[in-house]
Amino acid sequence: AIAEAHKRNGFESPTTEWVVKNTLKRLRRELGTPAKGKKPILVEDLKKMLSHCPPSLSGLRDKAVLLIGYTGAFRRSDLVAIDIDDITSSDEGIVVLIRQGKTDQKRTGRKVAIPFGKDPKTCPVRTLLAWLDAANIVDGPVFRAMTRAGTPRTTALSDRMVAEIVKKYCKHINKRVAFFAGHSLRSGLATSAAIAGASERSIQQQTGHKSIMVLRRYIRDASLFRENAASKLSL
C-alpha cells in the first residue's frame, strides 16, 4: 500500500530502501507469519483427533506429536528439532529447551514447561514418555520418521510431516483439511487457552511471541462468542 501510494503521486517508493527492507524483515521475524487461512484446532477437536490415533507405534508417535505440539505451542520446525537432551523432567511435568527458535537470534534458547494432564489418556507428558519407551529412544531426535514396516528411523521427522499428521487426523473428524496445518496446533493452544480464561501473559510465555500483536489476533477471535452481546438476548 505504501509503495502504491508513492507511485500514484510520482514518488519513488521508500520500501525499496535497504533500511526499510531490513526493518520489515525484522518485524516479520518478531511477529511471526501464521499460515494464511489456517484455522486453530480447539481443544475439544484435538481430543476427537486423538481418539483416532491407532494403537500402533506410528499411532503413538502421532498422538505424541499432536499433544506436545499443541501444549507446547511449538512452531513445527521447533517441534521436530527437539532432542532427548533438550528435555528435563520435574514433579509437575517436563521442560523442553528450544535451542534455536525463530525469534531467538542470539540462540540463547527458550524453556517451555509442559505440565501433566488431568486425564491419563490425553496427558502430553505420559504420552511422550510412552512413545519414547515403546520406540526405545534414548538419544537423538524425539520425533522420528518411520519405516514402511512401522519402525522408527534414526532421522528426525520432517516439519512437513507435522502438517500431514495434523491434516490426517482432521480428516478423521470431518474437518476440511485445507484449512488446517502444523500452525493449527500452535494457534489452537493460544485460542483455547484464551477461551478458558488464561491471561495474555501466560499465553505469551507458552507461545514465545516477542510481540503481543499477533497473539492478540487469536485472543480476539476466541472472545467473539465468550463476550458476545447477542448471547445476552433471550432468543
pLDDT surpasses 50 at 190:
yes
Instruction: Specify the pLDDT at position 109.
Output: 84
CATH topology of domain 43-225: hpI Integrase; Chain A (1.10.443)
Decide if 70 is catalytic: no
Catalytic residue among 99, 102, 110, 171: 102
Please state, rounded to an integer, the average pLDDT across all residues of the chain.
86
Residue spans of the domains in the chain: they are: 43-225
pLDDT surpasses 90 at 234:
no
Catalytic residue among 38, 70, 169, 218: 218
Element (H, E) at 131: helix 124-134
pLDDT surpasses 90 at 33:
no
Decide if 102 is catalytic: yes
Instruction: Specify the pLDDT at position 70.
Output: 98
Instruction: Specify the pLDDT at position 156.
Output: 97
Q: Confidence class of residue 7 from pLDDT cuts 50, 70 and 90?
A: low
Element (H, E) at 70: helix 57-71
Q: Confidence class of residue 15 from pLDDT cuts 50, 70 and 90?
A: low
Q: In Å, what is the CA distance from 48 to each residue of 44, 52, 122, 173?
A: 7, 7, 10, 7
Element (H, E) at 42: none
Catalytic residue among 38, 63, 167, 209: 209
Say which amino acid occupies 77.
S
Catalytic residue among 61, 144, 167, 186: 186
Q: Measured between alpha carbons, how far is 79 from 189 in angstroms, rounded to an integer?
A: 14
pLDDT surpasses 50 at 77:
yes
Catalytic residue among 39, 63, 75, 144: 75
Return the percentage of the chain with pLDDT > 70, whole number.
80
User: Comparing 78-87, 132-141, 198-207, 215-224, which segment has the lowest mean pLDDT?
Assistant: 215-224
Per-residue pLDDT averaged across 27-31, rounded? 52
Q: Which of 113, 80, 116, 75 is closest to 96 using CA atoms?
A: 113
Give the 3-state secondary structure of residue 187: helix
Please answer whether residues 98 and 110 qualify as being in contact, where contact means their C-beta atoms are separated by less than 8 angstroms: yes
pLDDT surpasses 90 at 26:
no
Per-residue pLDDT averaged across 137-162, rounded? 96
User: Comparing 20-34, 64-78, 152-166, which segment has the lowest mean pLDDT?
Assistant: 20-34
Decide if 183 is catalytic: yes
- Helices 183-195, 159-172: axis angle to 10 degrees equals 60
User: pTM to 2 decimals?
Assistant: 0.80
Burial class of residue 7 in the structure, from the number of CB atoms within 10 Å of its CB (0-12 exposed, 13-18 middle, 19+ buried): exposed
Element (H, E) at 114: strand 110-115
Instruction: Specify the pLDDT at position 5.
Output: 61
Q: Measured between alpha carbons, how far is 29 from 22 in angstroms, rounded to an integer?
A: 11
Per-residue pLDDT averaged across 152-163, rounded? 97
Q: Confidence class of residue 31 from pLDDT cuts 50, 70 and 90?
A: very low
